[in-house]
């Protein structure tokens, strides 16, 4: 993989940068700038080196047609603040506005094109349609820089096809993400603890299977924990469960036992009368989840305080920690304590290359959670920008957006 370095002459050259600016929105405002902040260094360094920088990205899933609420216009303003220089905005992807904005660029200037997914060619399954859109993007560029790690697992026009049309490099963000992911996959310093949460086991089948061959400990939380508890024979009330994954989970438990990998499950759960911010709630032992005020209609919304303390202790004892997925419904303050405890434990376990210790927050909801709970990015060894991409990398799968950079 060729990584863009200072030795690559970009002065006066048009550099197309595929960033990941897919930020969460709340009432039209950017709720979490994490991905913009992470993308800024590569864009800033190119501009400072005299490149004419054309940034492309997507936002949401507009299904190939313009959606006003998913315009990247507000992102252009936030990006300008992050890089400390103006960012022009083109109101289309490869049309008249984009062409005029690119033609107007001077050395060191930056433009952001409109949401790529407003064009159906970006995500087309048909190679010819996707390739045609890539050709139109490539006409803007002398060089291509892939710096959106959150999309490198997608075979899309701006991720894969453009890299086959112009000289292509990995940007600083992608290079850093790949380095961290390889440390987790190939050379973790032990003990190696993996903390997995989120709602569904089915979202993490591949990564669980892969990490059972690599980790010393898998700590399970979030909604997915109830499929594990049901697989062990526990009654779980109305808690989220994937009945079709019970045999798979039993297989994971057996594989872990055979390999000497510990699967850590909570021994207490915060139960609630309903899925609501202000619902009545209580803590129950895992063998008594239905022996509580709401009985079988109660549902679990967080790991309990004893479980949170046990998870935190094991995290602090580890030398390598990978965390993906919140421990509960952290958006509701009453059910955020488990996620808070895990995040705090990761900050205390934070180290660096000098001692070999590495703590990684695996993007997606986990990254949103730590910021929502008041933590800073530099409290952790690394916060990934790629939830799905991180998981697929750790599964050992080929990622099209990285594979094409090897060609």
Cite the active site residues: 35, 200, 364, 388
Give residue 311's Cα distance to chain centre: 22
Contact status, residue 50 vs residue 12, Cβ threshold 8 Å: yes
Binding-site residues for substrate sit at 20-22, 35, 58-61, 117, 154
Burial of 359 (0-12, 13-18, 19+ CB in 10 A): buried
Q: Which residues are annotated as a binding site for ATP?
A: 204, 300, 331, 363-366
Assigned token pair, 137: 């993007």
Task: Give buried/exposed letters for 272-289 (b at 16+ CB in 10 A, else e).
Answer: bbeeeeebebeebebeeb
3-state secondary structure labels for all residues of 340-402: HHHHHHHHHCCCCCCCCCEEEECCHHHHHHHHHCCCCHHHCCEECCCHHHHHHHHCCCCCHHH
- Detail the residues annotated as belonging to a binding site: 20-22, 35, 58-61, 117, 154, 204, 300, 331, 363-366
Name, in order, each residue with C-beta under 8 angstroms of 274's C-beta and a sequence gap of 6 or more.
299
Rounded distance, CA 269 to CA 307, Å?
Answer: 8
């Amino acid at each position: 993989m060729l990584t863009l370095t200072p030795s690559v002459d970009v002065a006066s050259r048009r550099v197309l940068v595929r960033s990941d600016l897919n930020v969460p929105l709340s009432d039209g405002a950017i709720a979490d700038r994490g991905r913009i902040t992470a993308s800024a260094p590569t864009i800033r360094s190119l501009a400072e080196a005299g490149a004419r920088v054309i940034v492309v990205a997507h936002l949401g899933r507009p299904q190939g047609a313009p959606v006003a609420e998913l315009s990247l216009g507000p992102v252009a303003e936030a990006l300008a603040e992050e890089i400390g220089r103006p960012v022009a905005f083109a109101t289309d992807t490869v049309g008249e506005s984009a062409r005029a904005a690119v033609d107007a660029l001077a050395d060191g200037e930056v433009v952001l094109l409109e949401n790529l997914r407003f064009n159906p060619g970006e995500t087309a399954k048909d190679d010819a349609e996707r390739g045609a859109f890539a050709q139109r993007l490539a006409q803007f560029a002398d060089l291509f820089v892939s710096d959106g790690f959150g999309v490198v697992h997608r075979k899309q026009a701006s991720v894969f096809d453009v890299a086959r049309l112009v000289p292509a490099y990995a940007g600083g963000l992608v290079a850093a993400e790949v380095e961290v992911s390889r440390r987790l996959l190939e050379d973790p310093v032990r003990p190696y603890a993996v903390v997995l949460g989120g709602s569904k086991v089915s979202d993490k089948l591949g990564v669980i299977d892969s990490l059972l061959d690599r980790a010393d400990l898998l700590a399970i939380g979030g909604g997915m924990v109830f499929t594990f508890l049901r697989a062990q024979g526990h009654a779980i009330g109305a808690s989220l469960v994937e009945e079709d994954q019970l045999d798979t989970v039993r297989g994971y438990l057996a594989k872990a036992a055979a390999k000497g990998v510990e699967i850590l499950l909570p021994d207490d759960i915060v139960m609630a009368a309903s899925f609501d911010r202000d619902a009545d709630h209580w803590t129950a032992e895992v063998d008594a989840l239905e022996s509580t005020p709401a009985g079988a209609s109660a549902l679990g919304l967080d790991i309990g305080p004893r479980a949170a303390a046990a998870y935190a202790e094991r995290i602090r004892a580890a030398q390598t920690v990978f965390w993906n997925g919140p421990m509960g419904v952290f958006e509701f303050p009453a059910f955020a304590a488990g996620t808070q405890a895990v995040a705090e434990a990761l900050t205390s376990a934070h180290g660096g290359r000098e001692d070999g210790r590495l703590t990684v927050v695996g993007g997606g909801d986990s990254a949103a959670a730590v910021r929502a709970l008041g933590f800073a990015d530099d409290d952790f060894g690394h916060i990934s920008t790629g939830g799905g991409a991180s998981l697929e990398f750790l599964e050992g799968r080929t990622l099209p957006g990285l594979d094409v950079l090897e060609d």
